[in-house]
Copies of this chain bind each other. A is one copy, B any other.
Amino acid sequence: MLLEFNTPSSLILSQFQQIVGAEHVIVDPDKRHDYGHDETEDYNFLPDVVLKPSTAQQISDIMKLCNQHQIAVTPRGGGTGLSGGALPVKNGVVISTERFNRILEIDELNLQATVEPGVVTYTFQEAVRAKGLFYPPDPSSRGSCFLGGNLAENAGGPKAVKYGVTRDYVLNLEVVLPTGEIIWTGANVLKNSTGYNLTQLMCGSEGTLGIITKIVFKLRAYPQKEVLLLVPFVTNEEACRAIAAIFVAGVSPSGLEYFEREAAIKTKKYLEETMNTSVGTDFPENMDAYLLIELDGNNEEQLMQDAEKVMAVVEQFQVGEVLFAETATQKDELWKVRRNISPAVNAYSLTKSEDVVVPRGNLPKLIVGIKEIGVKYGFNSVCYGHAGDGNLHINIMKEALADAYWHKEVNEGIAEIFTLVVRLGGTLSGEHGIGIAKRPYMPIAMAEANLQLMRGIKRAFDPNGILNPEKIF
């Protein structure tokens, strides 16, 4: 069903001004342009107007107006998305949540926090850490992404392997529905069997069901100690085999990241050349891939036991010298490499960034298959990711490929990768969402009956289809 949308009239623009204040209604084309792209490939869509409300009531008033006049509305967080979920593909209104930037409460008795969706993830992490508390979801873009966007895409990051993803920390949400009602989706409780779980349904729905205006998160005590190992592997495939073996040995790492040598080399170069920062770690030529393994807890002896178990596992494979990061500086340096892989890879070529996930025992077959498909279609890929979760980021490099080939044959190669992923028991996205970039591939992972159910759910929330149209399905 292709919906038609209206452009906001000058009368409606003036109503917007009354709702949010004239200074928060952006019509200047240059400024609007900033709200038309994110970190996904080179997509760009110009909104007709950008609104910067600061209260749920203002958003409610905007939604009622847009719902009445069939104007498309796209909610937007920090603009760091990797699937185009926040892009205004039907133009219309972008609602930026940048003014929803307050941490409203950190409840140290109940280990909960109430925040607005425009708080930057790292700001929140640091605020709770100052009280000895831990908010584990930790996307690489944590320095600029918003918590609301993390929720919309169900963001993960390296700690998810032990501590879970964003959806595992959300207790309750204040949401403005497309029709303008303001609801709380649940209650501020750790367990809830009270009706359909609207909180979980919102999480990962990519801003298509409602606009989040408050979030209640649960928190944990901050683990007091951690150790970090960097293990180089002679082959990609063996690095991937080691991953499942670590869990089978009974260890539950707080981070288990995989990256190819090419990712390490590019990132070191990027950090040195572009960011003017040196990295003390060497990535020798004869190694195919690396595992960065973090263990955490409150007891030194326990950590050493776990580290020994990990060593016993990896030594069954062809590995180089294991780097045991001892100082905070060494640890930071390794994590800096890992965190900068995505910008580094993108600094040297336009990329298509995939975010597939499979049962972790199937990663060896996946990595081999991806490289074979790359050879077949003639593209290079740089692979890395949260492999402890079976979550692999595949950056497909445009480099010297022709535009037409990039838009057609390369997409066919990606469809082949997705088909392989589904055959291996996996699916399209582990933490970046579908947005517009993966939408054409949804039928590979999803039966028509599933898509019909999702459309039905969408209609129950958004009868006129005005909120974030043409995303996901």
List residues of chain A with CB under 8 Å of any chain B CB: 107-112, 132, 153-154, 156, 160-161, 164-165, 167-168, 177, 181, 183-198, 200-201, 203-205, 209, 220-221, 244, 247-248, 250-252, 297-299, 301-302, 305, 355, 357-362, 386, 389-391, 422, 425-434, 438, 442, 445-447, 449-451, 453-457, 459-461, 472-473
Contact = CB atoms under 8 A, between A and B. Distances in A.
Q: Pick the 6 closest A-B CB pairs, nearest first.
A: A456-B460, A187-B427, A109-B361, A299-B302, A191-B430, A221-B250
B457 A425 contact: no
8 contacts: A188-B425, A193-B429, A193-B433, A195-B451, A195-B454, A197-B204, A198-B450, A221-B251
A431 B190 CA distance: 11
Contact of A192 (B161, B197, B357): B357
B109 A244 contact: yes
A367 to B, nearest CB: 16
Given A250-B298, A302-B301, A359-B110, A390 B201 contact: no
Given A192-B427, A430-B192, A359 B112 contact: yes
Contacts of A457: 196, 201, 456-457, 460
Contacts of A298: 250, 302, 305
A434 B192 CA distance: 10
A357 B451 CA distance: 34
Contacts of A181: 447, 449
A201 B191 contact: no
Nearest to A299: B302
Contacts of A302: 297-299, 301-302
A182 to B, nearest CB: 8
Given A194-B434, A450-B195, A201 B200 contact: yes
